Structures are given as structure tokens and as C-alpha cells.
Chains A and B, each alone.
Chain A
């Protein structure tokens, strides 16, 4: 197990290294304006040249890469150029991330609490009205463009329940609608997958044997089916949780939450190379960590998976 984790970790660091290097190189191929910012217009070409040289951008690419990694290990992602001039990229990301984490984790918790039981009940009452209702909900959420019902929610539900339409850090009530909107999609997908895996399990032979030995339907559901159905979901769970940190562009702008959602788009539009670089690093690390955690969680809950060669039986 430990050997396996170490191996996966090693692979992931290598992957991360490759991604970051590629992003670094691509950004160096972009026009130099990305490092000059608003100051570009006031500078003559010679001044620009001096400025860029001072930033180290006229060094050979390998030297630049080396400097970049040295900075990285010291926790220095460089400074923002245009987005918030001269503020360290790390600070920008940290500020915004807090909002997205709060909303993201809240939404994941909510959708797990609602979606998984919904899927379980749908499987248990397959073909009956609850199942149809749930399926209707899933189809609606997946098929109708999200902005349509997000807007409806913002306009009407806020009115009916007298909830604030926009996010306000100091008003706890204003957290409700964005959380609700964020959870709608994941609830549908958790319910859909849980139902599907439950139905899969229910049709397996071991359920027949469990019935034949006189186990009640209730016990079969709870002690045999549920856990087995949860395993395929376990693998993707950490990744989905981690990715909530990156925020939702649409919901954050709709409720004016100062989260991560729009940051990448903004940074690209404003040609703020350092922020883009930092964000890509964060996003790809999250993705990779999510995958590893998923694999590890899977190995913990499923005894059939013996990770790493050599310690399997037979």
C-alpha cells in the first residue's frame, strides 16, 4: 500500500512538472505585453527592453525556467502585472479561494446529503412515482441550460422566501441561494449514479443468495447493496470535492461572489501571464491530488484492490 502510494505520488509530481513546464513555455511564446501591463504605453521600446531584461525575461529560456522553479519552491509565484498590479499572485489566489472553498464544500456536502439518499430511494422504488419524479428532476437539470433556472431561482425564489439576491459576506442568509444553485447539478449526478450502481448491484447473483438465506430486503439494501454501490463513486469523490475550490464562473458572477470562478478568464483577458501561470499550477495540482486520493480511497473501501504488485494473494 505504502509502496503504491509512493509510486503514485512520484508519477504525479512528474506529471505536474511536465504540465507546469509546458504552461511556462507557452506563456513565454506569448507577446511581451503580458509582462508590461498598463505601463507599456508610457514606455519607449528601449525602456520596455530594459524593463523586461530586469524582470529576467531576456535570459535564455532554461535559465528562466530554473529561476521560476526556484521561486516556486520558495512559495513565490511572481507578481500580478495587470490584474492587481504588483500584488503577489499567491495572495490574489488565496483571497479568492476562501470564498470558493466555503461555497464549494457547502455545495458538495449538500449534494451528497441529498443526492445519495435520493439515488438510494430511487433504486429501492424503481419504476414507482419517486423514481419517476427523481428521473424527471435529473433530466430537467441536465437538459435545461443552467442559466435559465439559476435566473429563475434568483428572481423568484429570492422573492418568495425573502432571501437576498446578491451575496453579502456579513449576511448569513445570502449564502442560501448560491449554495442551493451550486448543489442542483451535483445532486442530480450523485442521484443518477447512485441509482444506477444500486440497480446494478441489486441484479447481481449474490443478492439472490442473500435472499435465499432469508435476509430481509431492508438488510439486503443497507448491508449488502449500499456499500457495494458506493465504491464506484468513491473514486471520483475527492476530485469532485477538490474541484469545487476552483469555483463556478456563472454562479459567482450571478450572485457577485468574489470567488475563483472568473479569475482565470479575467487573467487571460488582461494578459496577466503570472496570474495565469499560478492558476494553472493550482488547478492541475488539485486535479492530480484528486486522482490520487480517489485511488487511495477506492483501495481502502474495496478489498479486491490490492495496490502495488507482490502483496496480492495467489
Chain B
């Protein structure tokens, strides 16, 4: 199945200046996004997932900058965008974002109707009554009842799940091509999470959106993603179809990540956790960033950064273990059982 690329990140390097030091947050990432798919970017806190998507929207903090590489979208290289006017052509209009914490993401002093309408007016060219009608329509779309009454209410009159629906409505109101969901369910109750994910999936179909999910919750990934990119210390170390990454993972970090799923724990035993801490990004990283924490690390892992080894047409992993010369290593027992049990 040949798919159309909608966004293409090539050799992106993002650095931050912090108290006179330079931190490399994104280390030479390349990633393609295909039209209509939903891609999940997973990784632990500080792995650079948020920085990556912020750079797509030009929302990096002031001390962050794109050092090299390009972000090709819609015929433009976003990494060259400097002025606000440049970004406003893309931000909101073509790429919209659902933010993390619905409790604080809405302006407490504006009615939710006005906040959605702001998007509608900005990006859909509607005014007055039309904009109002469209706003009501969007409220209905995200599953809010009694929309006329709700239109005039303030954020504090809504529950967390409802507010996240409104944040989603704001994003969809922009009529974007790409919707970025930055941990859309992290701040929500488990019971609400499933509803919000279902809503996002429905909207994706209805509005033909391409979505990027950023999350560290593998449960979310399994529910919504077509493809997964696993990030560690500012690099993508494995990327592939959801099934491939879940049930045929190749990178030891991905193994570790899946092993730490509570569902795989055995009763009475301690849950698996990855030993050690992620590397210091202020220092230059040599070889595979995960090597110091990796029980399967080879000598070369400490010397040279592994290239992407092809596992299948859609599945690539950055680990020397896939090199023909590498010793045969099989994933941990727990994982093998998991791969077999649910892989089919």
C-alpha cells in the first residue's frame, strides 16, 4: 500500500541553550508521516517527544532552536520559519494540537463557546451567526449535549473529560490536516480515557485527519495507533506498524518498555523496571544512548551509533543486535510469552 507523505522530518537536530550550556534534545531524527494514519510517539519523560512536536508547530521555548535538518510540510521547510507571520500560516490552520491537561488548558474567563469560536473565526473564515452555528455543530461532534446552554458556560462548569472534549473541539475547529495529541488522556480518569480515545478516532475518520499521539501509555498506543515510533534520549530507536513493534520488537529498549507493562507482571513478583537513568543530554552521546542500561549491549554499542536495520518494509530498529555479525539474542522470557500469546 503506497501512501502519500504529508509531513517529512529529515535529520532534525534540536538544541537548547540552558545557563550557558547546550543541550541536544533531538539527535538527528528522520520520520515520515503518511496521510490519514495515526502515529504514536512513545518514550519516557524527557525523551524528546514533546520537543519534537513542538518544533513542528513552532512552539519551542525561546531558548530552543533547530540546529540542522528540515521539516517538510506542504511544500515548505518549517525549520526555516522564523517570524510569527510564517508560523501562523501553519499553526492552527493546518496543524492543530490537543494539549495535555484539560484542567488548565482553557482560559478560565472566557465561555467555552467563545474559545471554540475563536478558532472557527480564525481558520474557517466564518463570522457572526455562521460561526456560532459551526461552534454548536463542533460541540455536538465532540459529544456535548444541550449545546446552546453549554456554549455560554465557563470552563469551571465542566468536568475534566468534558473539558478535554472542548479542547479537542478547539483543535478540530481549526480544520487541520494534522492533529497532534500531546498525552491527551494522561490527566483523565481511566473510565474517561477510553471515551476520549474513541472520540478522537471517530473525529479522525469524520474529518480525515492525520494524527500524532504523544504518550508514554502503551495502552493508549495499542488502542489508537497504526504506527509507533519509540524514542529514547532524543532519538527514534524503533519504528514500525503497531503490531510489529508490540509483538516483534527488536530494540532492547522497546523490550524493556513492554516488559514494564503492569499487565505482564507476575503476581507476587516485583514489576519490571528499567535500571539506571537516561543519559545526560548536555554531554555528547556516543554509540547507542541506551547501551549503559542495556544488559544485551555489545562492544560496538558504546562506540558507534547503530544505523536503522530493516526488519520489514515498515519496521526498522536502531540496534546492532540486528547486524548479521551480532550474536543471536532473544528477548526476555516474559516478552516471548507475550509475543506468542497475543501476536497471532
Contacts and interface: CB of A to CB of B under 8 A. Distances in A.
Interface of A: 204-206, 208-217, 224, 227-228, 231, 301-304, 313-314
B122 A208 contact: no
B88 A213 contact: no
Nearest to B123: A214
A209 B174 CA distance: 12
A211 B61 CA distance: 12
B99 interface: yes
Contacts of B118: 210, 213, 215
B109 A214 contact: no
Contacts of A204: 104
Nearest to A302: B109
B106 interface: yes
A172 B153 CA distance: 50
A303 B91 CA distance: 30
12 contacts: A205-B99, A205-B105, A211-B59, A213-B96, A213-B97, A213-B171, A227-B109, A303-B109, A303-B156, A304-B109, A313-B157, A314-B157
Given A205-B101, A313-B157, A212 B57 contact: yes
B59 A208 contact: yes
Most chain B CB inside 10 Å of its own CB: which residue of A210, A224, A228, A301: A210
Given A211-B59, A214-B93, A314-B157, A228 B107 contact: yes
Nearest to B154: A303
Given A205-B101, A304-B154, A212 B96 contact: yes
Contact of A214 (B105, B157, B167, B174): B174
B327 interface: no
Contacts of B99: 205, 208-209, 212
Which applies to chain A's interface (DSSP): helix, strand, loop or mixed?
Answer: helix
Nearest to A231: B109
B111 to A, nearest CB: 8
Contacts of B173: 213
Given A205-B101, A206-B105, 11 more contacts: A205-B100, A209-B167, A211-B91, A212-B92, A213-B119, A214-B88, A214-B91, A214-B92, A224-B110, A228-B109, A302-B109
A214 B122 contact: yes
A216 B57 contact: no
B209 to A, nearest CB: 15
Given A209-B99, A303-B154, A304-B154, A215 B92 contact: yes
Contacts of A206: 104-108
Contacts of B88: 214, 216
B170 interface: yes
Contacts of B110: 224
